[in-house]
Amino acid sequence: MVWTSPFGVTQREFDAAREAYPSLTVCGRRVCPMRRSGFGRLLDMLLLRSKRSRRQEQIITGVTVEIPGIAGGSNGRRRRRYRLFANLTSIRTALPTVWVLDPPDSQIGHVNIYHPAASVRCSSLNKSLPMLCWGNTTTRRWAAVPPEHRLLEPFLCFLAEFLGKENHNSAAR
């Protein structure tokens, strides 16, 4: 039976992703109701199970991770590591918002990373940080993924692919 949350990722989902991304760490949790997927969800609806019978679990709402990518800008395809913070509260419905913790803004040349803006603060960390500009193509690709497959590990794969190239039509830099 698969349990999912519309508000983040489960510990099981996190543990599976951590095998591929060992630098993955939890930065936020909250208690949320869980929903079963597939046949279990249909069974709950048919049997009109009460809200009391729903499972609750601590859901992971934010993570940090190190992802390799290209330096971009004048450094072109030279490789570099990005330490990122991702807010996972919307992962089932949209691409999560991702902020760059390291390198500092002055060392970022990747054209798909916005400079920090006072108007767009990372509320979880209470600071202005560089932020990824997903663009329409990546956003449409994520939207095409069925919601039950919008999990942490596929998201991290999207992130690695995104940082490994540049879209020079981006308005970010």
Quickly state the pLDDT bin for 162 (edges 50, 70, 90). very high
What is the per-residue pLDDT across 31-77, written as a single tens digit (0 to 9) for each?
765 555 555 555 555 555 544 445 557 789 999 999 999 988 776 77
What is the per-residue pLDDT across 99-117, written as a single tens digit (0 to 9) for each?
999 999 999 998 889 999 8
Domain ranges of the chain: 6-34+59-163
Closest by Cα among 83, 89, 154, 91 to 113: 83
Contact 166, 76 (CB under 8 A): no
pTM of the model: 0.80
Q: What is the pLDDT of residue 3?
A: 45
Which CATH number does 6-34+59-163 carry?
Answer: 3.10.110
